[in-house]
Amino acid sequence: MTFRSFRFFIPILAVAAAGLCSVIIIAMTGRDPVMIYEKLFRATLLSGYGSGQVIFKTTTLIFTGLAVALPFRARLFNIGGEGQLQLGALAAAITGALLPVSFPPAASVPITAIAAMAAGGIWGGASGILKVKFGVNEVISSIMLNFIAQAATGYLLTSRFAVQSTEHTPEIGNSSMLPGLDDLFGIFVGSPANITILIALAAALYAAWYLFRSRAGYELRAVGLQPEAADYAGIRSGRHIITVMSIAGALAGVAALNLVSGYKHYYESGLTGGFGFSGIAVALLAGAHPLWIVPAALFFGLLEYGGLAVGAYVPKDIFLIIQALTILIVIVLNAQKR
């Protein structure tokens, strides 16, 4: 079996192996694994509200997963999704709150989205510029930029934009809010799932087209496969590095639509909840393929909410272990077949 054909089964094998390990861990806690997983699936996929929670988490993970997957094709590792998402969320909340109430949704929502994408894109592009102009490794720069983003959003929130005696911004205007799937279709009743999931799916499709059907995507992959040969062929590697890091930041930033416009309707400390870091795991499980990002995000969304749903029976940390084991197994299997 060739590596190309075997690679298709690596995520499946990793999920199965991690699931088997979780059965052993749950049994060690004195609980029946069958009972735990039955309750997990009843609380998630077999529940309208639970399914909506999974969809809600999946939506954000698709964006942050794509923010890692695209640069990875150029052999770049974007660790800065969390900071890019934080800045995007704050920008979306401030923009949505400042827009006049007379603005129609057809204008308010795109403006809010552009603000979120711009904030995240600038932050992602900064890592690209540091790499191209000064030779700074993007892993180090994006990690440091995460800390700066966290400090900046914290300062701006508490000293400038928070509602008095609270830790959140003013609520965005009604025209900047996105309807929930419950309101539109009567599904996932009571859950925060909203139409941002449709934007996320469209983003995954566009990312696949960009990588595998466009000239820019071809050149980007050439930069990742052999940068010296790409330079010799006249491909401007530096431009592609800055561009893809900016696109990645914009993708992480626009995930704020799900959290701000579709759910909370304001920004508060802790809103992003580590989605930027979870996006790294999603991208690794998906093999950095934009279309595989969707089922990988669904898997992690299921584990994240499922862990909370059965938290009264077993520690939710068990499901964090499953996520970590899945990625470790993916890495090991890829290394063994190369």
**Residue 274 to residues 84, 116, 270: CA-CA distances in angstroms?**
12, 17, 8
Please tell me the predicted confidence (pLDDT) of residue 333: 80
Please tell me the predicted confidence (pLDDT) of residue 93: 97
Cα–Cα distance for residue pair 185/194, rounded to 1 Å: 10
Please tell me the predicted confidence (pLDDT) of residue 277: 93
Measured torsion, CA atoms of residues 157, 124, 126, 235, in degrees rounded to the nearest 10: -170
pTM of the full structure = 0.95
Weakly modelled stretches of the chain, pLDDT under 50 = none
The packing angle between helices 237-254 and 215-225, to 10°, is: 110
Please tell me the predicted confidence (pLDDT) of residue 2: 54
